[in-house]
Structure 1
Amino acid sequence: LPRETVKPVTPGSHHSKQLLERCWSCRLISGAGLMLSGAYVYNAARKIMRTGVLMTPGLVAQITFAGCLTAWGVVVIANPVKNSKI
């Protein structure tokens, strides 16, 4: 008998990608978590800016990273890969 009847689900496998595409609650929780993480990072940068410190490259990088996290959360929720015709 072949032993390939049961394949384990690995993080990079095709099955795990299909699960994220089909599972609305998974996408919503993951996307919301990323968006909240972005808000947290942005508020940490704003807290430093409120003290009157000039904009440093580190603060700019932190705000940019917060925007990237938020955008990533929107992309996870919107799921544009499923809707693409590639």
Structure 2
Amino acid sequence: MEPGPEAARPAPVKPLFGGCWSCRLLSGAGLLLAALWIYQGPRRSMKRGVPPSMAAIAQITFAISVGTWGVVILVVPVGEQLRKNP
């Protein structure tokens, strides 16, 4: 026996954050605030005139990447990240 058309269909993929705006807003805003908090450490020492070390530059780079992740969660529409079949 060959399987019917129902067996050939893949299971629907659930979006990463469930598709609810409150979840996306909460997690995106939380990541943006975390990025701001991470960024404040090296920035505070640079305001005092201390030249940035490699660790401070790495921390700033990490803060930028966390902030970018938060913006992507807020901006990219739900379902856009799903793979499209030709």
Q: TM-score, normalised by structure 2?
A: 0.70
Secondary structure, in 3 states, of the residue corresponding to 2:23?
Answer: helix
Unmatched 5+ residue regions in structure 1?
A: 1-13
Which of 24, 29, 36 aligns to 1:32? It is: 29
Q: Matches of 2:24 and 2:77 in 1, distance apart?
A: 12
Shift of 1:53: 1.1
Q: From the two aligned structures, give the one with the greater helix fraction.
A: 1
- Highest Rg: 1 or 2? 2
The total of aligned residue pairs comes to: 72
CA offset at residue 59 of structure 1?
0.7
Q: How does 1:48-67 map to 2 (within 5 A)?
A: 48-67=45-64
Structure 1 consecutive aligned stretches of length 4 or more whose deviation exceeds 6 Å:
none
Unpaired stretches in structure 2, ≥5 consecutive residues: 1-11
* Shift, 1:37, TM fit: 0.4
Q: Which moved more, 1:58-67 or 1:76-85?
A: 76-85
Name the TM-score, length of structure 1 as normaliser: 0.70
Task: Give the share of equivalent positions with the same residue, in percent.
Answer: 43
- Cross-structure match for 2:20: 23
